[in-house]
Structures are given as C-alpha cells and as structure tokens.
Structure 1
Amino acid sequence: MILKGVKVRLYPTAAQQEAIENNFRLNRFLWNQLLGMQIARHENGGSFVNKFGMNYLIKAMKIEFPFLKEAESTSLLYTSADLADSYDRFFKKQNGFPGFKSRRHPKNSYKSNCVNGNIQVADNHCLKLPKLGLVKANGLQRVKDRIKSVVVRKKADGTFEATLLVAFEAKTFASTGKAVGIDLGLTDLASQSDGFKLRNKQFERSLAKRKRQWQRKFARRRLLALKKIEVRKQATGENLELSTFKNVQKAKEQVARINKKIANQRNDYLQKYTTRLVKKYDLIAMEDLKTKNFLQNHHLSRSISDAAWARIKSMLAYKCEWYGKELVLVNPAYTSQICAHCGENTGKKPLCIRTFDCPHCHTTGIDRDVNAAINILNKALAQR
C-alpha cells in the first residue's frame, strides 16, 4: 500500500467555518501552553517532556481549561507531536528554537486522524469530518481508497480545503523499454534526448501586471490603515486591529487569489507532463540540480523560481516509485560542453549560441539543449 495526498475544495457553512476557525484557535492555545510548560521546566532544571508525556498532560489541561473539549481530540495530539518534532529538529540543530504562535500570523490548519470511520466520503459531494459533520466538497471523486487522516486548511484567499491522506494499491504502467534524458532550462522548460521540447509558459509573468496592481493597492491601503490606527490610539487609546479594515483584507485576498491561480496553473502543467513521461519511458534521467545555488543570480532568480525545476524532480520521484519506473539523477557537470557523439569536451559557449558544433568529430547543427539531454542519458546508463 502507498500513501498519497488528495486535495479537495471545501464549502463549509457559516457555523462550520466558525467551528474550523475555533479549532485553529484551540490548537494554537494548546501549542503555546505546552511550549510555555517546556520552557518553565527547563528554567527550573526539569527535563524535556516527550510527545507521549505531553499527550498525557492534555487530559489534565482539558480539566483545567474545559473549552479545550470543543476541539477535535486527535488534532490536539498532532499539535503536541508537532511541538515534539520541532524540539527534535532544534536539538539536532536543523532549525531554531520553537516559537509561540501569534494571533496576527496564525497557522490556519489542523490535522485529524481517521478513527472508527469519523472521516468518510458521502455521495462524492460531501465529506464527513469530526466535529463538523457533512461538509460540501468538490473533488471527492478522486478519493477511492481508505482514508488515513485529513488536514483542514484555510487559504490566504479565504477559501477552505482539505488534504486527505489515502492508502491505495499502486498499479505499474506497462513496460516500454524506452529511456530518455531531460535537460532543464528557462526558454524551454525541458529538452528531451529524443528532440521533444516542453515550452516554458511562464505563468508568473502572464499575471504579473494584475498582481502588481493589487500589490500596490494593498500596500497603499495598509499604510493608510496603519495611520488611522495610530491616530485613533493617540486620540482615544483604542488599539484597532488591521483585520478590521475590510478594504485592506480585500486587497490582501486578491493578491492571494492571483498567487493561487499561478500555482494551480503551474501544478496542472507539470502534473500532466510528468505523467506522460512515466507512461512512455521506463528510465528517466535528469540533472541533479541544486536550485538554491542558481537563485543567487538575481537577474534570473524570478524565472528560475517560476520554472519550478525542483517540483519536476519531486513529481517524477514519487511517480516513478508508484508506477514501477526508474529515475536516475546525474551530476550536471559538463553536460552542455561535451559532444554527445564523440565525447570530447569543447569548452564553454555563450548562451546566445543555440546549436552545438564539435571541432573534433565535425558534428554540426545539433540543438545545444538536446545534446546536453543525450549526455545526461549517457551518464545515467553508465552509472546504472
């Protein structure tokens, strides 16, 4: 059995929205209480309380704070597990010390475990969730396997979604005996060793003008709102929240909607391409690029981020595992300089030269990116 996540759009009622947001608040309260307890124990010379110890403390906290009983019980257990994991990463020097959760920058999500069928799909139109009952949802037709857990999330644009973790039996695709090498780029998102090129649609730039307009509106409205807050505080002593200004929230949600549209378009484009690859080829070879290093080039960082090279690699990794295909990552060194026919290194060439001409074997006219893709495939076959 393999686990995969399926995202569905939720359409909760007003009462269900309030229950979801209340669960966010209760999980944030529990996090802060447990973190404060851990800090106090450390200052008093006590030892760290692990995940199981914190789970036992939740029972006592429900007596001290009865309103915690309103929360979905398994989500509280996941909150203590997240805090324990955060401490583990801190002890291993993988991240900083855990911080308190703020109401101004909340974590608008919680996770629930499936226990005794409390999470179910009803008629492909409603999703049964603990403490919420039946919630209208879109996309449930893709959930055909056993549900393990669910993450309920409120997006920055005000919409709600659920990510269902389901266990399914993977079916391997038929073997084709074909192999392909892929060279990633910016003009063409992917160049294959068989000559096919995937066009880079640059989703970020297609909506850049509209996004920039709303970002400027948001910045202006936020600045005016902050000035009004300061004037009101000096005049009456009242401390207003930025969330009370509806025009500011509207502009913020518009920016979030545009970002969401860009992400959805890019994800759909890459999902379809990577699925075609694993259906057609048994061996897929790619460069093991470190995208973080390329982002230091500030002239190309925006285009590289929009290309989402790391996303392509991660998609191919799990799809090859699911469907019985092989993904080989090779060292990208000299793949654009070596002749794919004779193997001689011809040295660096400026990016304006798009064809590869070899002075050793006199190969001419081959596309530069296709030549690199063939070299990537040859490296992968050599290291198998």
Structure 2
Amino acid sequence: MKSMAKMKYHYGLKMRCYPSNQQKQLIKINSDASRFIYNEMVAIGKELMQLRRVKLPIDTVQDRIKQLTMRQNAKQMSNHYQFLEDERIDSLAKANAIQNYRKAWNAFRKVPGVPKFHRKSYRWRYQTNCQYPGQKTALLTNGTVCFLDNSHVKVPKIGLLRVAGSQARLLKRMCETRIGTVTLTKDSADRFFLSMQLASDESFVEAPKADHGHIGIDLNTDNFLTDSEGNIVPNPRYYRTIKGKLVKEQRILSRRQRRAKKEHRFLRDSKNYQKQRLLVAKLHAKVMNQRHNFLQQISTALIKNHDLVVAEELRSKNMLKNHALALSISDVGWRSFLGMLAYKADLYGRQFITVSPRNTTQTCHNCGFVMGINGTVKLTLADRKWTCPNCGTHHIRDWNAAKNILDKGIAKLA
C-alpha cells in the first residue's frame, strides 16, 4: 500500500459535523490534551535551550537535559502525567501534537522566534490519523477513519459522526483513495467541522477543456478585479455591509463583560455574556462564509476557463500600513484569493503565476510610455481613466493594468 507522499494527487475535504453532547465532551478532552502536550513541548524546548547555553559540565545541568530530552515523546509524557493515560484520549492526537510542535520548531530556523504557547480559547482542535491495519488497498470505507454512508463517518474514540458536505461525489470513486490526517475543530461560533487529507493516483476533479487561453487580472479596492478582456467583477464589501450591526452587538458585549467583572463573576459562567459572545461570533462567521464562497466561485471560474492566469504579486501586510485603505484591503481577501488560484491551478492542471506590480498601472499598454517621466505626473488612485501623452490612447486604468500584467506573465514564461 502506497503512503500519502508517494501518491500523485492530494485533496482536502472539509465537512460540517453534528456531534452529540457526549461526543462534544470527548472532542473537548482530546483538544485539551493536545494543547497541553504542545505547550509542555514548548516549555521543555525553551528550558533545554537555556540549559544548553550553560557551557560548564555541571552534572545537575546534564542530568536535567537528559531527563527533558527523554520526555519528548508521547509515551514518556503519558507516564509522567498520569491523566494523559485516560482511555478517552486518542493516542494519535498526542503524537500529532508533538509532531506539530516539531514542525513549528523547524520553522524557527527560517522565521525568527520560538514556538509560542497555545492559549485556552473557545476554539477546540485536535488531529488524528487514519490507519489501514491488514488492508491491501486504501479506500474511503475501510480505514480506522471511514465513511459508512454519505452522512456518517466513523472516527476513533468519537464513534459515529453525522456530517454534511461535498463528500458524496468522492464516495462514488472506485479507485484507491487514502485518508491521511483527520482534524476535528470547533470554532468560536460553536460550529464543528471534520477535515481530511486525501491522496490518490487518480485526479479528484475532471479538468474541462479551457474556453479561453491567457488572462491577466488586476486586483483593486474599487472593483474586486478587472481582467485583460475588460470584464469587471464588483467588490461585494461584505464586512462594510454588516459593520453597523456588528458594532451595535459588540457594544452590548462590552457592557456585559464590564458588568460581569464588576460583580466578580467569571465570563465563562455569565450566561448573558456567553449568549452575546455567540451572537457576535456568528456575525463574524457569516461575513467569513460570504467572502469565502465569493472567492471560491471566482477563482474556480478563472482557473477552469483559462490555460494561464497571471496576477500581481501583492504584499497585503505592507499595504495594510496605509490606514486609509486597511479596512478595504482586509475586507476584499486578496491573499486568500491568490492562494485559491495557486492550489486550484495544480488541481485542474492549469498555469498560475504572479508578477511584480511595478509600473503596471503607470505604463501605456499601446506604446509602453511610463507616466512620471519626461515631465509627466504619476497617476493617483483618483485617476480611473487617463490618456497617454505619448500616443494619445485613452485608457481605463484597471483594464490597462490587467493587459500589462498579462504581458509580464507571458514574458516571464518565455
């Protein structure tokens, strides 16, 4: 049986799940255990880093280093903390917590800063794995995590979970399909989700023949995007639409928080505060779902209908420093959109590249003249239409930029 890494195609599946009260308790227990082990690994790592800076061969220091090093695995940690041997805790959840810490520690070599402690919050999360003991072929229906039908999934320690999502299409596949890491989560709006990593040697989607060849897209805050063919996708501005209602509900939440603290009550025991917190979380979740659905539909349409998609290489982190545009940039979700284009291009066998946005707006697509030279003034955000002083061509700003982005992308591939 092939491992996940050796299989050609990989796919992520996320489903909404509806656990019973007893199953919710089991998810909470495994989430807490996973967080505790991760934080314990962070504490051990920080202490080892400090002890190894002591260059003197002190026996006490060396013994402590040896003791901490031995504790860095699931079995030894369970022996040290007896509550981790609870039968309700998935052993693979403990192993995944340690593996996640080691991935974070390896990232420390690339990004400054050591792994941080995971704080306790309203979000729950833990990971397990699907195993195939005694099976010759991996399917969606014969592992330790498996589908019983379109609406039910069996998960170790949790049992039978009722789910809803797009899994029905995948269950019709007769080819070998392996389930890898499985993640159970609860968000701040008290919604539960089950996510799976899938792998197969056959594609998970049917790639239709592209209707068009190449396209360049210009992302902006006025409209969501303008492509090189002159098509404009308007910006839905989901957050701005709900902002007034959200501000009102957050004020009520703040008042209830102050009242609870004044009366020396814990927020977790304050029923009115928890009701209002859940209401605010659902408003945030609604905006997130609307934006996510919009980005998914636009990115899928672009990738399925074009052989090559070229976009600007945007650095949203730097752009958010502009306080006048920060809200609009955060609301539009550019980084998420570019990420969707990237993975869907791999999924459908298309090409997606990003190019430098330098002078894409200031350059005339017809003659190549760049505004800001030879005594001309650079275009500002207020200039939505302009005429080239060199050749006299009249341009719609975003359409012209999209054409320049496409030309840069074709030149980059040449």
Q: Would you say same fold, with TM above 0.5?
A: yes
Instruction: Give runs of aligned pairs for residues 219-368 of structure 1, distance below 5 A.
Output: 219-229=254-264, 240-347=265-372, 348-364=378-394, 366-368=395-397
- Partner Cα separation in structure 2 for residue 252 and residue 152 of structure 1: 22
Query: Is this contact kept in 2: 1:181–1:284, CA < 8 A?
Result: yes
Query: TM-score of the superposition, structure 2-length normalised?
Result: 0.83
Measured after TM superposition, the shift of residue 87 of structure 1 is 2.7
Query: Is this contact kept in 1: 2:78–2:85, CA < 8 A?
Result: no
Query: Is this contact kept in 2: 1:27–1:76, CA < 8 A?
Result: yes
Query: Is this contact kept in 2: 1:183–1:372, CA < 8 A?
Result: yes
1:146 aligns with 2:167: no
Distance 1:372 1:48, change over 3 A: farther
Q: Counting helix residues as a fraction of each chain, which structure ranks higher?
A: 1
Deviations 1:5-48 (A, max 9, x none): 22111111111111111111222333344444445555434269
Measured after TM superposition, the shift of residue 289 of structure 1 is 1.1
Distance 1:31 1:351, change over 3 A: closer
Residue 350 of structure 1 aligns with an amino acid whose one-letter code is T
Measured after TM superposition, the shift of residue 303 of structure 1 is 0.5
Query: TM-score of the superposition, structure 1-length normalised?
Result: 0.89
Query: Is this contact kept in 1: 2:314–2:357, CA < 8 A?
Result: yes
Provide the residue aligned with 1:211 in structure 2: 246
Deviations 1:169-211 (A, max 9, x none): 3243324461111000011111001000111000111111121
Query: Is this contact kept in 1: 2:78–2:84, CA < 8 A?
Result: no
Instruction: Give runs of aligned pairs for residues 5-24 of structure 1, distance below 5 A.
Output: 5-24=12-31
Provide the residue aligned with 2:115 in structure 1: 98
Query: Aligned with 1:191: secondary structure?
Result: strand
- Partner Cα separation in structure 2 for residue 186 and residue 370 of structure 1: 14
Distance 1:100 1:374, change over 3 A: closer
Deviations 1:251-305 (A, max 9, x none): 1111111111111111111111111111211111111111111101111101101
Measured after TM superposition, the shift of residue 95 of structure 1 is 4.7
Instruction: Give runs of aligned pairs for residues 189-208 of structure 1, distance below 5 A.
Output: 189-208=224-243
- Partner Cα separation in structure 2 for residue 293 and residue 146 of structure 1: 40
- CA RMSD, 1 decimal: 2.3
Distance 1:49 1:333, change over 3 A: farther
Query: Aligned with 1:329: secondary structure?
Result: strand
Query: Aligned with 2:87: secondary structure?
Result: helix
Measured after TM superposition, the shift of residue 212 of structure 1 is 1.0
Distance 1:66 1:263, change over 3 A: closer
Query: Aligned with 2:354: secondary structure?
Result: strand
Residue 88 of structure 1 aligns with an amino acid whose one-letter code is N
Query: Is this contact kept in 1: 2:70–2:76, CA < 8 A?
Result: no
Distance 1:47 1:304, change over 3 A: farther
Provide the residue aligned with 1:125 in structure 2: 151
Bigger CA drift: 203-212 or 170-179?
170-179
Instruction: Give runs of aligned pairs for residues 104-115 of structure 1, distance below 5 A.
Output: 105=121, 108-115=124-131
1:60 aligns with 2:79: yes
Measured after TM superposition, the shift of residue 352 of structure 1 is 2.4
Query: Is this contact kept in 1: 2:153–2:161, CA < 8 A?
Result: yes
Measured after TM superposition, the shift of residue 55 of structure 1 is 3.6
Provide the residue aligned with 2:214 in structure 1: 179
- Partner Cα separation in structure 2 for residue 317 and residue 256 of structure 1: 30
Query: Aligned with 2:73: secondary structure?
Result: helix
Q: 2:398 aligns with which of 360, 363, 369?
A: 369
1:2 aligns with 2:9: yes
- Partner Cα separation in structure 2 for residue 242 and residue 337 of structure 1: 54
Bigger CA drift: 327-336 or 41-50?
41-50
Instruction: Give runs of aligned pairs for residues 27-106 of structure 1, distance below 5 A.
Output: 27-39=34-46, 43=51, 44-45=61-62, 46=65, 53-58=72-77, 60-61=79-80, 64-65=82-83, 67-90=85-108, 92=109, 94-103=111-120, 105=121
Matched residue count: 370
Provide the residue aligned with 2:194 in structure 1: 162
